[in-house]
């Protein structure tokens, strides 16, 4: 029997799953929470590490203090020291003002260092010092500053091996790893897989006002036997992709198969590996929603045109009627999303109405996933000033995949 307090935490933090190893991880988090010990959370990418530091912070005496989550892998090497420890005015080109770092801002609170193994060695030295003495120095300063911050770190890297390769300081590892919490991969939590799928399908359906998908018995079996290299994050993305791309709501194993392993690269944009950025996830969702709305609109439009043609066999009649019908329709299908991103209205005139017989082509063009993929890659590259490593990170794909796609699509 599960401890009632663990059940409560699962409910409060939206954690799905009944596997013993998951409950044990939550149990350790609760026990260590009231202490000031550092915690290292390990587990493959996408297993759900990020909720643990929140639990620990919320159940500690620091819960009213500041909580800062830092994705160490997403900050460029050149600015990470300044981000974490602050800098003095004029300490480097562009440092027009002095600035507090996270360790200063989070005084009395908690810092979550996600992807901690990505920290450069020089930053690891500074981190070790602040962990051991509570002291640090802003970049370009010589004044020692004191802070009282609880550090929780996470990584999907095999740290002992990183130590062997000279990428991670051993002393820092022992200091961080006062209490280790390991989150099991999804393939070791098979019985949780259908529960998770259900949750993601229902959540997505509610958010996007559409009916939720269901899996047939054999599809569920297939889902449970899949390896899930991207763990829960991958499962979530696949649940959402199926929700949006499949018209039928009952998903068979034949359909499901096309969303799993190898088929992935050819059929869909590879968005499953590691999306951490909330903003990006939201954009993706808007995109899905727009695609879904567009498909529905096109179907309705086809139906409408078809009906109209049936009703008025005489050509000229149909031309006279349509303009009255269509504008009303256009009004009806105004996208619900209008407050987020104004979608272009369907601008239907007599001329375009004649073209509309060719709906198949229109549908295919506007729903092209590769176009959307190119657009997203461009956006990510722009945002990161062409830095492929960071763009790939944001897109949740490996640098190699990004490189391949850039070549494939001939993106500048």
Ligand X SMILES: Nc1ncnc2c1ncn2[C@@H]1O[C@H](COP(=O)(O)OP(=O)(O)O)[C@@H](O)[C@H]1O
Taking the least distance from each CB to ligand X, the nearer of 18 and 296 is: 18
Q: Which two tokens stand for residue 167?
A: 């990428």
d(CA 346, CA 352): 10
Residue pair 150/38 in contact (Cβ under 8 Å)? The answer is yes
Taking the least distance from each CB to ligand X, the nearer of 20 and 170 is: 20
Taking the least distance from each CB to ligand X, the nearer of 90 and 180 is: 180
d(CA 168, CA 30): 28
Q: Which two tokens stand for residue 266?
A: 């050819």
Taking the least distance from each CB to ligand X, the nearer of 193 and 343 is: 193
Q: Considering the complex, what minimum distance in angstroms separates the CB of residue 95 from ligand X?
A: 32
Q: Considering the complex, what minimum distance in angstroms separates the CB of residue 268 from ligand X?
A: 18
Q: Considering the complex, what minimum distance in angstroms separates the CB of residue 308 from ligand X?
A: 45
Taking the least distance from each CB to ligand X, the nearer of 232 and 402 is: 232
Q: Considering the complex, what minimum distance in angstroms separates the CB of residue 293 from ligand X?
A: 24
Query: CA–CA distance from 279 to each of 51, 154, 291 (Å)?
Result: 18, 21, 18
Residues of this chain that interact with ligand X (CB under 6 A) are: 14-17, 43, 45-51, 196, 232-233, 236, 276
d(CA 40, CA 159): 11
> In the complex, which residue's CB is closest to ligand X?
48
Q: Considering the complex, what minimum distance in angstroms separates the CB of residue 196 from ligand X?
A: 6
d(CA 41, CA 26): 11
3-state secondary structure of 323: helix
Residue pair 55/29 in contact (Cβ under 8 Å)? The answer is yes
Taking the least distance from each CB to ligand X, the nearer of 75 and 298 is: 75
Taking the least distance from each CB to ligand X, the nearer of 71 and 252 is: 71
CA angle 376–360–299, rounded 5-degree value? 85
Q: Considering the complex, what minimum distance in angstroms separates the CB of residue 132 from ligand X?
A: 27
Q: Considering the complex, what minimum distance in angstroms separates the CB of residue 236 from ligand X?
A: 5
Picking from 36, 26, 43, the residue whose alpha carbon sits closest to that of residue 159 is: 43
Torsion sign across C-alpha atoms 260, 362, 371, 296 = negative
Taking the least distance from each CB to ligand X, the nearer of 15 and 376 is: 15
The number of residues making up the chain comes to 412
d(CA 39, CA 399): 30
Taking the least distance from each CB to ligand X, the nearer of 162 and 367 is: 162
Q: Considering the complex, what minimum distance in angstroms separates the CB of residue 238 from ligand X?
A: 12
Q: Considering the complex, what minimum distance in angstroms separates the CB of residue 176 from ligand X?
A: 16
For residue 144, what are the β-bridge partners?
A: 137
Q: Considering the complex, what minimum distance in angstroms separates the CB of residue 405 from ligand X?
A: 22
Picking from 152, 223, 183, 225, the residue whose alpha carbon sits closest to that of residue 20 is: 183
d(CA 326, CA 202): 34
d(CA 76, CA 27): 35
Picking from 49, 53, 51, 79, the residue whose alpha carbon sits closest to that of residue 66 is: 53
Picking from 145, 100, 137, 116, the residue whose alpha carbon sits closest to that of residue 38 is: 116
Taking the least distance from each CB to ligand X, the nearer of 50 and 285 is: 50
Picking from 103, 105, 78, 104, the residue whose alpha carbon sits closest to that of residue 92 is: 78
Q: Considering the complex, what minimum distance in angstroms separates the CB of residue 186 from ligand X?
A: 9
Taking the least distance from each CB to ligand X, the nearer of 136 and 259 is: 259
């Amino acid at each position: 029997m599960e401890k009632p307090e663990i059940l409560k935490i699962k409910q409060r933090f939206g954690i799905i799953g009944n596997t013993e190893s998951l409950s044990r991880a939550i149990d350790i988090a609760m026990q260590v929470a009231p202490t000031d010990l550092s915690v290292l959370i390990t587990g493959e990418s996408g297993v759900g590490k990020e909720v643990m530091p929140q639990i620990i912070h919320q159940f500690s005496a620091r819960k009213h203090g500041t909580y800062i989550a830092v994705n160490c892998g997403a900050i460029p090497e050149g600015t990470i020291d300044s981000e974490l420890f602050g800098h003095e005015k004029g300490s480097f080109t562009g440092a027009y003002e002095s600035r507090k770092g996270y360790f200063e801002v989070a005084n009395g609170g908690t810092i979550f260092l996600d992807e901690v193994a990505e920290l450069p060695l020089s930053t690891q030295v500074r981190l070790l010092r602040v962990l051991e003495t509570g002291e640090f120095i802003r970049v370009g300063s010589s004044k020692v500053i004191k802070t009282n911050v609880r550090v929780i770190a996470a990584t999907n890297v095999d740290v002992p091996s990183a130590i062997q390769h000279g990428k991670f300081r051993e002393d820092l590892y022992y200091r961080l790893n006062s209490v280790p919490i390991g989150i099991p991969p999804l393939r070791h939590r098979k019985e949780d897989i259908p529960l998770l799928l259900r949750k993601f399908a229902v959540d997505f359906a509610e958010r996007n006002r559409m009916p939720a998908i269901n899996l047939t018995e054999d599809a569920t079996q297939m889902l449970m036997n899949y390896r899930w290299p991207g763990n829960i994050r991958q499962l979530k993305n696949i649940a959402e992709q199926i929700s949006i791309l499949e018209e039928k709501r009952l998903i068979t194993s034949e359909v499901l198969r096309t969303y799993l392993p190898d088929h992935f690269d050819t059929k869909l944009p590879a968005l499953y590996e590691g999306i951490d950025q909330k903003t990006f996830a939201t954009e993706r969702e808007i995109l899905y929603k727009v695609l879904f709305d567009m498909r529905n609109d096109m179907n309705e439009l086809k139906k409408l045109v078809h009906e109209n043609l049936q009703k008025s066999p005489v050509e000229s009649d149909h031309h006279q009627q349509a303009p009255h019908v269509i504008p009303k329709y256009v009004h009806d299908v105004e996208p619900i999303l209008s407050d987020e991103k104004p979608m272009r209205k369907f601008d239907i005139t007599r001329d375009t109405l004649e073209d509309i017989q060719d709906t198949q082509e229109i549908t295919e063009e506007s729903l092209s996933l590769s176009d959307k993929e190119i657009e997203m890659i461009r956006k990510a590259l722009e945002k990161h000033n062409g830095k492929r490593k960071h763009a790939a990170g944001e897109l949740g794909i490996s640098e190699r995949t990004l490189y391949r796609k850039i070549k494939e699509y001939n993106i500048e």
